[in-house]
Chains A and B, each alone.
Chain A
Amino acid sequence: MKPWQVIAPGALTTVQDRGREGWRHVGVSRAGALDLDAAALANRLLGNDSDAAVLELTLQGPTLKLAQPARIAIVGAAVAATSNGHPLPGQRPLTVPAGELKLGGIREGVRAWLSVAGGFDLPVILGSRSTDLRGGFGGKEGRALRAGDLLPLGKSPPTITAAPQKTAWWIGADDYDCGIAHPLRYVSSGHPAAAALAERAWSVSADANRQGIRLRGQPLPNIPHHNVSEPVAVGCIQLPADGQPIILLADAQTVGGYARLGYVIAADLPRLAQAGPGAVLAFAAVGIDEARRINLQHRHRQARTALAIDRQLARHP
């Protein structure tokens, strides 16, 4: 398979898979797709392994030059995508011809994941092809894509088409709303200010990135904290002295000295991936047993979607 060429890189396009496990004790972040479910489904739609590397698109996608036809899928928020000028829908398998694949602006969210049959074949470093932007390794030379980059592809059966082909079926797009009707659920650490998180309206500040989301709202009380750095995890909600909470995402550092209000449950992390600057967030506290029940339901739903995809692919390969 001939590599793809990056014509324009987009706002922040990185190579990601499921991320790194087992290296946090030497300071290595998880990295990986901010919405692991979306990345896994993008792969499933093409029959890839669930940990094949995909591109994570942010706000504005890249323009790519394809030397030959390819099978692809775009999952996540709505992307204004075209193949040689023909519009492409998301959330389903597509076959696109050689030429220009343009991923434009992203709406109703800020991120989407682009998979290709065979995956992006970049070196596996510490068990993953994910880009670690802070560590400067993984993915494409440890950084976001740039114009002129070549993206090697894994092996896949050859595809022939002169015009884009799409399936007549697709998977339902998720509702990424995090507002009052659909609050982010969190398990409280028992910190005295943790309950107040659910009682106020918050918005996402302009400096949100893959490390974390800083919230803006009426400050939470500054309660004296021991400030001794402790390990943190993806989803942890920190409370700095200014009272504006920070939610840690996949590229967050592995230890932190701020007080912790609790953590956003696993089932709701995908929605956080779509919370761009200015997005309104509401929170609801859940007990740990309820969190487990919700996470289990979420995994079952993912599994049902994956099986439905497999059935469709078996019928109309």
Chain B
Amino acid sequence: MSQPTFEPLADNALLVRFGKIIDAAHNARALDAARQLRERNPSWLRDAVPAYASLAVFFDSGRIDAADPHAFVAAQLRATLRNQETATAPIAKIIDIPVCYEPEMAPDLAEAASELGIAADELIQRHSSASYAVAMIGFAPGFPYLLGLPDSLALPRLTTPRTRVPAGSVAIGGNQTGIYPRESPGGWRLLGRTPLVLFDAARAAPALLTPGDQVRFQRIDTAAFERWLKEP
């Protein structure tokens, strides 16, 4: 494993970078370091934010008794990362996400299938039979960036982003796939929609998905989608 690099991200945050590519191994190290920090829960820890190949650690320098808080946190992280050599990864939570791929909820499906040179059903079949890992959450509260999209389904983003993407839209952008938690602008290709609420600030656990979870998409029809909405 390559040596991670450390860089101040802000006066109260340190960035640890494991690599400069989107990679499951780098992501696993970031997720594991974040998990270890959360379990230890030192008084100075404010947040541990994993991303594809990096981790940001936000801290309260008022609770760090050291002249150089960034160096202090870096030293703590080096110790955490040494544990990774021997640690076994915890079993990921698996979350099934129902997705309606019917045309009224999948405005880009037909064109995407034709660009890929496959039938729409084949696209749906490949998208819903893969298993995905939540690499990070960002862009908007609860928006999951998923690893595991089959290479054969990579699609360029729209040249002109939509001003309105409906909440729950399941989309592909480049070689990534994700779900829009809330109506927002967006440039990814919309292949379907889930009736699940990905983020609700009023819930005890506001985000349905957290980094490290495994996701599977389950194809549902419009009638099932409507039922979900009525009785979540």
Contact = CB atoms under 8 A, between A and B. Distances in A.
B54 A230 contact: yes
Contacts of A254: 49, 137-138
A126 interface: yes
Contacts of B34: 25
A22 B206 contact: no
B186 to A, nearest CB: 13
Contacts, number: 133
A25 B50 contact: yes
B113 interface: no
Given A25-B210, A226-B20, A230-B17, A253 B10 contact: no
Interface in B201-231: 201-202, 206-207, 210-211
Interface string A223-255: 000101111111110000000000000000111
Interface residues of A, number: 42
A220 interface: no
B79 interface: no
Interface in B45-88: 46-56, 58, 68, 70
Given A125-B202, A135-B201, A253-B138, A233 B52 contact: no
Contacts of A255: 49, 51, 136, 138-139
Contact of B10 (A135, A226, A236): A236
B141 interface: yes
A295 B141 contact: no
Contacts of A35: none
B149 interface: no
A234 B136 CA distance: 19
B11 A231 contact: no
A255 B56 CA distance: 10
Which secondary structure dominates chain A's binding surface?
loop
B22 interface: yes
B49 A231 contact: yes
A282 interface: no
Contacts of A234: 10
Interface string B1-35: 00000011111110101001110000000000010
Nearest to B50: A25
B157 to A, nearest CB: 12
B21 A226 contact: yes
Contacts of B7: 189-190
Contacts of B56: 24, 230-233
Contacts of B127: none
A28 interface: yes
A133 to B, nearest CB: 11
Contact of B47 (A24, A235, A289): A24
A25 B201 contact: no
Contacts of B193: none
Interface string B113-157: 000000000000000000000001111111101000000000000
A27 interface: yes
Given A228-B21, A233-B56, A26 B139 contact: no
Given A26-B206, A226-B21, A231-B54, A137 B201 contact: yes
A285 to B, nearest CB: 13
A233 B15 CA distance: 10
Nearest to A22: B47
Given A233-B10, A263-B10, A27 B207 contact: yes
A230 B182 contact: no
A233 B56 CA distance: 9
B140 A27 contact: yes
Contacts of A137: 201-202
B199 interface: yes
Interface of B: 7-13, 15, 17, 20-22, 34, 46-56, 58, 68, 70, 136-143, 145, 182, 184, 199, 201-202, 206-207, 210-211
A-B pairs with lowest CB-CB distance, top 8: A255-B138, A231-B56, A233-B10, A26-B207, A226-B20, A137-B201, A231-B49, A27-B137
22 contacts: A21-B47, A23-B206, A25-B210, A27-B140, A125-B202, A126-B206, A135-B140, A135-B141, A137-B201, A228-B54, A229-B145, A230-B51, A230-B52, A230-B56, A231-B13, A231-B15, A231-B55, A231-B138, A236-B9, A255-B136, A255-B139, A288-B68
